Amino acid sequence: MSKNKSEYLINRHDNQYEVVIGLEVHAQVSSQSKLFSTSSTKFGAEPNTQVSLVDAAFPGMLPVINEYCVKQAIKTGIGLKAKINKRSIFDRKNYFYADLPQGYQISQFKDPIVGEGKVILDMPDGQKEVGIERLHLEQDAGKSIHDLDPKNTFVDLNRSGVALMEIVSKPDLRSPDEVNAYIKKLRSIMRYLGTCDGNMQEGSLRADVNVSVRKKGSKDFGTRCEIKNVNSIKFMQMAIEYEANRQVDLIEDGQKIDQETRLFDTKKNETRSMRSKEDAHDYRYFPDPDLLPLEVSDDFIENLKSEIPELPDEKKKRFIEKFKLSPYEANILVSDIETSNYFENVIKKSDVKLATNWIIGELFAALNEKNLEITESPISAGNLSKLINLIKDGTISGKIAKTVFEQMMEGDKDPKKIVEEKGLKQESDPKALEALIDKVIDDNRDKATEYKSGKVKLFGFFVGQVMKVSGGKANPQLVNEILKKKL
């Protein structure tokens, strides 16, 4: 057994295997136009309506770098605490495919725009640092559509030339859970920065997953296989589990692992060989002579640094220090920028502790049930903060607040109005409460006698009765006090 409860190991006979994972994440740069042309990048347009002469590689057409995409890549680099390379070079990666009009992809090979950096993961048993090897800019290819016609393949070039950031991690990940946390953290950082929308359904974020296994304690890396183009976290985790077990089985069987590129079949939940090392493409990388080396000045980088918002790690630290949140609460609230914005808007005018509980508890559950994002929340931050104030100042009880909350979920109504309209205001008038309590004691004489003779547990019964008779509106604190006196 492992001493660390979150350690992910594969056991076979007497052997324990550790899984070593590195990711190459392809993140689509959020930008209006493509990396080297002015065509739109908008998702979901009619096929081949967002294609310039450059994207379709017409004779004599030349790429011109989109400065905005360069800024986005550098910002992302800053967010990954990475080294920004003041000089980087665009290379051509040569291969033939129908959806690659130029016959080469413009990418960065030897000299990427961003060098080494790191990402901090919050795992159940503590923090883990994952190294970033590099980040480079490259063009996306078009899309081949094979299922529209029995004989022909159709090509949609709308994606052709869209800017991607390839973010290469070091082989620092050790489990599907860490991969999950890593992707979510990367996504969160980029969404904070506004450099990638992280929308996996639309293909804005996908990854090549490198997997190898080794006996626990070994320092050497095993032979790795690369699983290409996996487009959801769940599939990445499934692919890793399958692939790691496949490799362990091979080793246990005395067989060799071939270094190869594999595909994950989501229907069969298995990885399949795509091409071996021998069949690997020779991409004939060389510097693109149509583009000069990309040079950025210190000022350019400093200006971008000044535009960087507070990122999740720093925000988390602040939430813990300033608002006394637990690390768990802080993690949840900073995980995406919209949630943290919502939270900060709510606590502008209301109690932090209550707000934290209501957002993480009631609101998240309600949104989940309706399958809504925080940005689509029917309850605005302002109204949630009003609701919390109604609880705080004793106007309504926590229990009544839940009823009010449910009504607010039906449409963003002012909780004060709901309380007024439905007469849900808490009864805090001692005289009115005394009358109520007298009646309850009167009606339950026998139980009152039992209480007095020592059956103190019955106190709860009386509180419940008072609340029931008041329709839940009685101020529980006052009810307690008065009951104690009267009984």
Residues in contact with other proteins by the rule CB under 8 A: 53, 56-65, 92, 94, 96, 98, 101-104, 153, 155, 282, 284-286, 289-292
Q: How far is the CB of 231 from other proteins (least distance, A)?
A: 24
Which residue number, 172 or 260, has a Cβ lying nearer to other proteins? 260
Cβ-based neighbour number of residue 301 at 10 Å: 16
Least CB distance to other proteins at residue 141 (A):
13
155 vs 225, beta carbon nearer other proteins: 155
Indicate the residue type of 303.
Answer: N
CB of 346 within 8 A of CB of 359?
Answer: yes
Least Cα distance to 305 among 137, 193, 166, 185 occurs for 193
Q: Give least dist CB 91 to other proteins, A.
A: 10
Nearer to other proteins, 125 or 147 (CB): 147
C-beta of 65 vs 366, nearer to other proteins: 65
Minimum CB separation of residue 283 from other proteins in Å reads 8
Least distance in angstroms from the C-beta of 59 to other proteins: 5
Which is closer to other proteins, CB of 291 or CB of 448?
291
Tell the smallest beta-carbon distance from residue 165 to other proteins (Å): 21
Q: How far is the CB of 95 from other proteins (least distance, A)?
A: 9
Rounded Cα distance, 75 and 69, in Å: 10
**What own/partner pairs with CB < 8 Å and gap ≥ 24 does 156-160 have?**
156/47, 156/48, 156/99, 157/48, 157/51, 157/55, 157/56, 157/99, 157/101, 158/45, 158/47, 158/48, 158/49, 158/50, 158/51, 160/51, 160/55, 160/56, 160/99, 160/100, 160/101
- Compute the radius of gyration of the chain from its Cα atoms: 30
Q: Are 225 and 260 in contact (CB under 8 A)?
A: yes
Helical H runs in 28-127? Answer: 67-79
* Alpha helical stretches, state H, 194-336: 233-252, 298-306, 312-323, 327-334
Give 390: exposed, middle or buried? Use CB within 10 Å, 0-12, 13-18, 19+.
Answer: buried
The least distance separating other proteins from the CB of residue 103, rounded to whole angstroms, comes to 2
Closer of 284 and 324 to other proteins (Cβ): 284
- CB of 21 vs other proteins, minimal distance in Å: 26
Nearest CA-CA partner of 70 in 314, 303, 359: 303
Nearer to other proteins, 282 or 302 (CB): 282
What's the CA gap between 344 and 337, in Å, rounded?
10
Q: Is the separation of the CB atoms in 448 and 465 below 8 Å?
A: no
CA dihedral angle for residue 42, residue 140, residue 117, residue 6, rounded to 10 degrees: 90
Q: Pick between residue 221 and residue 286 the one whose CB is nearest to other proteins.
A: 286
When the beta carbons of 63 and 312 are compared against other proteins, the nearer one is 63
CB 110 within 8 A of CB 125: no
CA separation (Å) from 241 to 185, 192, 212?
Answer: 21, 30, 11
Sequence-distant (≥ 6) Cβ neighbours of residue 228 within 8 angstroms = 208, 261, 262, 263, 274
Q: Which is nearer to other proteins, 138 or 243 (CB)?
A: 138
DSSP per position, 352-375: HHHHHHHIIIIIHHHHHHHT--GG
83 vs 284, beta carbon nearer other proteins: 284
Return the closest-CA partner of residue 193 out of 300, 295, 375, 71: 71
The 8-class DSSP code of residue 133 comes to E
Q: How far is the CB of 87 from other proteins (least distance, A)?
A: 15
User: In angstroms, what is the minimal distance from the CB of 119 to other proteins?
Assistant: 31
Give least dist CB 271 to other proteins, A: 25
Nearer to other proteins, 289 or 423 (CB): 289
